[in-house]
Structure formats: structure tokens, C-alpha cells
Amino acid sequence: MISIASYNIRKSVGTDWRRDPGRILDILNEVNADVVALQEVDRRFGSRSASLSPEMIVERTDYEAISFGVREQSLGWHGNTILYRRGITVLDTMTLTLPALEPRGAVLADLQIGAERLRVIGLHLGLVDLWRRRQAQSVLNQLDVLDEALPTVIMGDLNQWTTEGGCLSHFAENHRVIAPGPSFHSSRPMLNFDRIITTMDIEVAASGVHTSEMARKGSDHLPVWARIRIDSAAKAMAQSA
């Protein structure tokens, strides 16, 4: 079983309006996933410096942050990054540029987790429905042209509150779309902004929203999580297709 999570950390600014990166890391320790996609990890303006430092992540958690090598002071790409538990091997990484009115992107990592290889994509889609649709299709198009297909998880803040339609219709054609539960606003969660999407060769054993007292204060979003396993038979069929 592999545990995954996604969390929009709002640049480590909590609902008390304190920027507290240590609190974010404590929340991640509570969630205790093997792989985490983070959104809004970098400040928005200027040098876009990271609100979490790689050194602090290593010191206070069992995670390491993937270096996507985009900006010296940034942790991610357009605010997106991926953390992985030590012991997991990073096989490959890349950044994806998405069509947008404002800068948007996604990050991709191919990981070796025990005997399994897993492709993880972290993203943060736009505020306008038309652009969310275009961004979703762009992600799928960029996946289609990769040399190798792998069991894939796409997760992040989709900014889509409806249970179907919109950008979800693009993902739902050939993927499972999981809504772990309301994750926004953390003080009174009512909207399913944060989603986990998988290829059909992945079984989702459980999913949910992390609702600890600390998580309700850490950001305006709550972390979402899932426990997954790779379906070997479905994987073999997909690779032979």
C-alpha cells in the first residue's frame, strides 16, 4: 500500500494570518503520507522564495523535496512541488507549462517505491473554468507523448467545486477522479477543491480529508489523502495495449 497526499499550504500562512512553516511540517507529519504534492509553496512575488526550506523539511520530517531546478530561491514550479519519504528513489522529474491567464504549471516525478514505479503529478489549476479545462487537457496531452506510460496519480488544488463537469470531464474520460471530501475553507470546509486522480491501474483503498485542530489553522485548505495499490493485472493490460 502506498499513501499519498495533497496540500495547498497558502505559502505557510495560517487562518490566524501567521506564516508558520514549522506548523505546516507538523501537519505533514500528522498526515504521514509516503508522497505529498504541495501547492502555493513559494511566495507569489519578487524572487518567489520558498516558504519552506529544504533544510527545514529534512530536519523536521522524514521527507525530502524534489529539486525541479527552476529558480534558486524557489522550492517548486509555479508554487508546486513534491515531497517524498526518504528511502523512495526519484527516477525522473520534469516541469509542465500550462496555458493560463496567470502563470500556472505542474510538476511530475517518476518514483520507485519498493517494487513499484509510480508517476506523480502535482498541480494547481486556475480560477476560470475555461482555463481549467484547457489546463487539464494540456496535462493529459503532455502525458500522452511521454516515452513510457506508468501508473499515475494526479493531485492538487483543481479550484473546481462541482462533483462533475468542467475540467473533471477531461480527467474522467480515462481516469478515476477521487473527491476525498470538502477541503476548503479549512475553518468550515464545504468545497471539494482538492482532488486525487489516478489511472485505471491504481486501486484506491481509502481516501479522506485530514481535519486535525492544527490542520484547521495551518492554511485555508485542508490536506487530502489516499491509500492506493497498483493493480498488477490492469497495469499489464495497459502496458500491452
Q: What is the pLDDT of residues 6-20, one digit of tens each?
A: 999 999 999 999 999
What count of residues does the chain have?
Answer: 241
State the Cα–Cα distance between residues 66 and 22, nearest whole angstrom: 19
Residues of the chain scoring pLDDT < 70: 43-49, 69-74, 233-241
pTM: 0.94
User: pLDDT for 124-162, tens place per residue?
Assistant: 999 999 999 999 999 999 999 999 999 999 999 999 999
Given 3.40.50.300, 3.10.20.740, 3.60.10.10, 1.10.3720.10, which CATH number is that of 2-240?
A: 3.60.10.10
Report the amino acid identity of residue 94. Answer: M
Residue ranges of E strands in the chain:
2-8, 35-39, 63-65, 81-85, 89-97, 105-113, 116-124, 152-157, 175-178, 194-199, 202-209, 224-230
Q: Do residues 1 and 227 touch, judged by C-beta distance below 8 A?
A: yes
pLDDT for the residue 234: 61
Q: Which residues contact 114 (CB under 8 A, 6 or more apart)?
A: none
